[in-house]
Each structure stands twice: as C-alpha cells, then as structure tokens.
Structure 1
Amino acid sequence: MRIDLGQSFRIGMTIVGTTIGAGFASGREIWEFFGSYGEEGRFGILLSMALYFAVSVIILHIGWKKRTQHYSEVLRAVIGPRMARYFDGYVILSLLTSVLVMVAGSGATLEQWNGSFTLGTLLMAAAVVLVLFFDLKGILSLNTALMPTLAAILIIVCLQALWSGGETAGLIENEPENPLLPVWPSAITYAAFNMVSLLAVLSTMGSQIRHPAEIWIACLLGVSCLAVLAGLYNASLLQVSHLISQYNIPLFALIRDYSTIWNLTISLVLWFAIYTTAVSNMHGLVFRLADRFPLPRWAAGLVIMAVLVPLSQWGFVPLVQFLYPLYGVLNLFLFTLFLLYPFSEER
C-alpha cells in the first residue's frame, strides 16, 4: 500500500499545533520546565521529546490498528474497559479546562493591547466553533496552513535573540533557578502534561492512516520540529535569564527592543498558537461527546463555549497557576501506562 507523505505531514503539523499553546509559545512552559535548570535544560528537552515521540507513536498505532474514532477507545485498549470508564471522565474534565485556559488566554492577549478581555474570549469561541463545521479535515488543514508559518516566526525571533545576545553573553552569568534539582523529573512531567491533548486529537486519526510508516514519519516530523523550537527557545531565554522575572510572558523579554509592528505580529503568533491548541482540545472533546449527545459537532462546541466563556472571567494567570501543575502530576500515571503498553502481553 502506498505511503501518503502529505497525510504524514498534516498529522505531524497537528502534533506541533496541539503542543504549541499559550504556555509554549509564550515561553513560560519552556522556562519553567527547562530554562530554570540552566544549561542542563537542553538534556531535559531531549529526554522529554524522546518520550513524547514514543507516546505519539503508541497512540497513533493503536488508532490505526483498531480504527478508533475517539480517545475512549484508545484508553480501553491500554488500561481496560473498567479503568477507562474512570479516566474517561478525567480526560473530559481535562479537555474542558484546557479549552477554558485557551479562551482566557485569548482574552488576556487582546487585553495586552488595551482591548476588551470579553471580546477576546468571544473571538476565540467563534473561531473554534467555525473550524468544527469542517470536522477532521478542518483541523488537519488548519494546522498544515498555520504551523509552518508560526514555527518560522518563532525560529526567527530565537535566532535573532541568540545573534544579538552573543555579544553580551560573556558579561552575564546565567545562574539556574533550580541549581540543586535534577532536570529529568521536570522533563518527564512536561511530556506527561501535554499527553491528554495529544491523546484527544491523535486518537481520532486512526482511520486516516493507510500505512504504518506514515505514523513514524508523522511523529518524527512533528516531534523534531518541537525539539528544534524548544531547544532554540531555551537557549534564547538563557541569554535573557536576568530579565525573565520582569515579564509574565518570557517571549516579550526577547522582543523588548522590537518595533510596534513586530510586537503586534508576535502577539498574533501567540493568539494563533492558543487557537490551534483550543481547536485540538475541542475537536477531541466533541468527538467523544458525539456518542452521548445527538448533536452536530459544531452545535456541541457552541454549547460548550457558551459555558466556558463566562468561566474564563476568572482570568488567564490564575487558571494556569492552578490547573497546569495539577494536571502535570495526574497525567504521570496515565503517561506511564501508555509507555508500558508495547510491552504488555495483550495488544
């Protein structure tokens, strides 16, 4: 059977789009999980991306083999029907709150430019529901179109920061914030933290895969892109480590001397990064809920957004500070079970 490289590229970009949300694109995730450990952070990125590659291959392989339609079917294959019922509710809650954070992130981004927080949340809600009209083809097309552009802009910013920072690198001593802690637990937690979103969207793509080689190509492409971005981002942030504490969004420490037009462009990059993650999470959510509620997927998304937009008024930063560490720890158990799945006797 012929290998569809175009499909591999689309799935690879979906892996990137699912991962590069508000936390990654803003630099906050990269700094907290890797940059704060100093030079050791680069080894943490390699470990994290290796684990991320493994779990992506496992999810897609299960989806391809069993032709799954949503994440619950993948969960049943890995942990059995009984445990899957309990984790099903947890994943639904995790996806809901993740979309909630992205909606609040959109409001916060618009607020940075003296706009309305509420208008920003409504804009995100409308844009996410719009993509749901096009089902799986919509999300694949969205990530294929946006991810190369967003990745290129982030790479340009990082390379510029490294180039300009090279002149003063020797004058500033980069002391890690966590000098006594090893980086590997943080690397594992980061990979686990992103797993639920990945599970939600990749589990719907089993029927789209024609040849198992497409899985390996897609995962290698997607994770390699993430590894390059994370590595460059980490190195760039280390150049301005003395400024990180002054910015809620570390990315703005890198572009502090840029023109207004460039700052606006970077803000748009942030918004689209938030958008692609929100779409991925909502996509996985409505595919799962389609079994329980006889509604078109766009209608289910509209109902969900009607609930989440008012809740987003709690604010972006409080939501991130409360939810992200919690899910990072809770996902570790599920992440471990997925990594052990290839070694189980029953496939």
Structure 2
Amino acid sequence: MRINLGQSFRISMTIVGTTIGAGFASGREIWEFFGSYGEEGRYGIFLSMALYFAASVIILHIGWKKRTHHYSEVLQEVIGPKLARYFDGFVILSLLTGVLVMVAGSGATLEQWNGSFTLGTLLMAVAVVLVLFFDLRGIMSLNTLLMPVLTAILILVCFQALGSGGETAGLVEPEPENSLFPVWPSAITYAAFNMISLLAVLSTMGSQIRHPAEIWIASLLGASCLAVIAGLYNASLLKVSHLISQYNIPLFALIRDYSTTWNLIISLVLWFAIYTTAVSNMHGLVFRVAHRFPYPRWAVGLVIMAALVPLSQWGFVPLVQFLYPLYGVLNLFLFTLFLLYPFSEER
C-alpha cells in the first residue's frame, strides 16, 4: 500500500492548527512556559516538542489500529473501560471550556480594535459551526489552507524582530523571572497542557490513515513545525524581555513599530489561530456526543455554541486564569499514561 504524503501533510497541519491557539500565537504561552526561563527555554522547547511528537504518534497509531471514531475509544484502549468512564467526563468538560475560552478570545480580539465583544463571540460561533457542515474533511482542509499562511507570517515577524538591531542597545535587560529554576518541569507541563485538544481531534483520524508511515511523517512534520515557530518566537521575545510586562499579548511587543495595516494583519492571524483551535475542540466534542442525538453534527454544534456564547461574557482573561490551572494535574496524569502505553501494550 502506497504512502499518501498529501494525507500526512494534512494531518500534520491539523496538529499545528490544534496547538496554535490564542495562547501560542499571542506569545503568552511561549513566554510563560519557556521565555521566562531565559536561554534555557530553548532546551525546554526541544523537550516539549519531542514529547508532543511521541504523543501524536501514540494517538494516531491507536486510531489507525482500532479504527476509532472519537477520543473515548482511544481512552479505553490506554487506561481501560472503567477508568475511561471517569476521564470521559473530564475530557468533555475540558473541550467545552476550551471552546468557551476561544470564543471569549475572539471577543477580546475584536475589542482590541474598539469593536463589540459580543459581536466577536458571535462571529467565532458562526464560523465554527460552518466548518461542522463538512465533518472531518472540513477541519483538515481548513488547517491545510490556513496553517502555512499563519506559520509564514509568524516566522516573518520573528525574523524581523531578530534581525532588527539597536532596539535593546544600551539597556540592561532584567533577568527572566524563572531563570533560577529548571525548565524541564515547565516543558513537560506544556506538552501535557495541550494533550486534550490533540487527543480529541487526532482520535477521529484513524480511518483516514492508509499506511503506518503516514503517522510518523505527520507527527514529525507537525512537531518540527511547532518547534521551529516556538524556537524563533522564544528568541524574539527574549530580545524584548524588558517590554513583556507592558503587554498582555507579548506579540504586540514585537510589532509595536509596525504600521496600522500590519497590526490589522497580525490581529487577523491571532483570530484565525484562535479559530483553528476552537474548531479542533468543537470537532472532538461533537464527534463524541453526536451519536447520542438523532441530529446532524452541525446541529449539535449549534446547540453547544448557543449555550457557550452567553457564558463567554465572563471575559477572556478571567476564564484563562481560572480554568487553565484547574486541569493541570489531571492533564499530567493522562499524558503520563499515554507515554507509558507503548511499554504496557499487550502484544
């Protein structure tokens, strides 16, 4: 059976699109998990992406071997039916809140341009539901189209920041806030932090894979792309570390001297990064619960969005500060079980 390189590329871009959400694209996650550790942060990025590669291979391999349709089937394979029932509820809640945060992030992005927060949330809700009309092919096509463009723009901004001289000349830059601590716990936490979204979307792709080599190619390409972007982003943010505290979105510290047109383009990049993650989370959620209802998947997604949009009025920053730490320990536990799966699998 021949290897479909095009399919590998589409899956790899889905991995990238699932990860590059509001936190990654804005630079906030990169700074908090890696940049705040100084030059050691680059080693943390390498470790985190190596773990990310391993998790992607494991999830895709289980999906291909078992022909899974949603994440619950993968969970049962890794941790057993009894424990999977408990974690199933946790994953559903994580995906719901993940979509909620992305919807609020869309409102916050529009607010940056003196627009309406509510209009921003409604725009995201409609855009996410539209993709559900096309099921799995829709999300893969979306990421294949958007990710190369978004990646190119982020890399261009990073190269511009790294190539600009004199911006920090004469300044005594403060030591990064976490420079006295080892970076590896943060690197592991970051990989685990993204575990749920990755599991939700990749577990639905088992039937799309025709050759096991596609799994390795897609995972390596996806993790490598993320590593390059994160590495360049981290190096760029370190150049303006003295300015990070002045910006809620560190990316704007890199483009502070850009024209209004470029600031608008970067804002659109942020919005689409939020969008791809929201689509991935909603996709995994709808595939999990749709079989319980006699309605098409887009209708189930519409009902979910109708419930989440009012809740998003709580605000983007409060949601991130409250919800993200809440899932930290459980994510680490689940991530560890997945990494140990190849060593415990019965052959």
Aligned positions of 1:28-47 closer than 5 A: 28-47=28-47
More deviation in 20-29 or 160-169?
160-169
Query: What TM-score does the superposition give when structure 1 sets the normalisation length?
Result: 0.98
Residue type of the alignment partner of 1:115: G
Q: Which residue of 1 aligns with 2:237?
A: 237
* 1:167 CA displacement: 6.2
Contact residue 165 and residue 239 of structure 1 kept, 8 A:
no
* Counterpart for residue 56 of structure 1: 56
Does the Cα contact within 8 Å between 2:173 and 2:241 map onto a contact in 1?
A: no
Question: Which deviates more, 253-262 or 326-335?
Answer: 326-335
Q: Which residue number corresponds to residue 296 of structure 1?
A: 296
Partner of 2:68: 68
Cα drift, residue 65 of structure 1: 0.3
Q: Which residue of 2 aligns with 1:276?
A: 276
The offset of 1:170, in angstroms, is: 7.2
Q: Is the 8 A contact 1:17 1:143 kept in 2?
A: yes
The corresponding residue for 2:322 is 322
Contact 1:174 1:238 in 2 (8 A): no
Does the 8 A contact of 1:19 with 1:277 survive in 2? yes
State the partner residue of 2:214.
214
Report the CA distance shift for 1:74/1:254 in structure 2 as closer, same or farther (over 3 A).
same
Q: What amino acid is the match of 2:115?
A: G
- 1:72-96 deviation digits (Å, cap 9, x = unpaired): 0000000000000000000000000
| Divergent runs of 4+, >6 A | none
Q: How far, CA to CA, are the matches of 2:309 and 2:179 in structure 1?
A: 40
Residue 241 of structure 1 aligns to a residue in which SS? coil
Letter in structure 1 aligned against 2:30: I
Letter of the aligned partner of 1:63 in structure 2? G
Shift of 1:291: 2.4
Partner AA of 2:216 in structure 1 = W
Q: Which runs of 5+ in 1 are unaligned?
A: none
SS at match of 2:80: helix
SS across alignment from 2:153: helix
Does structure 2 conserve the Cα–Cα contact (< 8 Å) formed by 1:193 and 1:329? Answer: no
Aligned length: 347
Matches of 1:170 and 1:34, distance apart in 2: 25
After superposition, the Cα gap between the structure-2 partners of 1:168 and 1:245, relative to the gap in structure 1 and judged at 3 Å, is closer
Tell me, in whole angstroms, the C-alpha distance in 1 between the residues paired with 2:172 and 2:194. 33
How many Å separate the matches in 2 of 1:172 and 1:162? 18
Change over 3 Å in CA distance of 1:259–1:61 after alignment to 2: same
Unaligned runs of 5+ in 2: none
**Matched residue, 2:264:** 264
**Alignment partner, residue 23 of structure 2:** 23
Asked whether the 8 Å contact 2:168–2:240 carries over to 1, the reply is no
Cα gap change, 1:118 to 1:166, in 2 (>3 Å):
same
Question: What TM-score, normalized by structure 2, do the two folds share?
Answer: 0.98
**2 CA distance for matches of 1:116 and 1:75?**
40
Cα distance in 1 for partners of 2:291, 2:335 equals 25
Q: Is the 8 A contact 1:10 1:140 kept in 2?
A: yes
Shift of 1:171: 4.2
Q: Report sequence identity in percent.
A: 89
Measured after TM superposition, the shift of residue 179 of structure 1 is 2.7
Q: How does 1:1-347 map to 2 (within 5 A)?
A: 1-165=1-165, 168=168, 171-346=171-346
Can you list the C-alpha shifts for 1:37-74, whole angstroms capped at 9, x where unaligned?
A: 01110010000000000000000000000000000000
Residue 166 of structure 1: CA displacement? 6.3
Query: What secondary structure, in the 3-state scheme, does the structure 1 residue paired with 2:245 have?
Result: helix
Equivalent position SS for 2:292: coil
Instruction: Answer yes or no: is the 8 Å Cα contact 2:236–2:254 preserved in 1.
Output: yes
Per-residue CA deviation, residues 298-343 of structure 1 (Å, 9 max, x unaligned), is 0000000000000000000000111112223320000000000000
Report SS of the residue matched to 2:295.
Answer: coil
What's the CA shift for 1:292? 1.7
| CA distance, structure 2, for counterparts of residue 227 and residue 192 of structure 1 | 16
Q: How far apart in 2 are the matches of 1:87 and 1:3?
A: 34
RMSD over equivalenced CA pairs, Å = 1.1
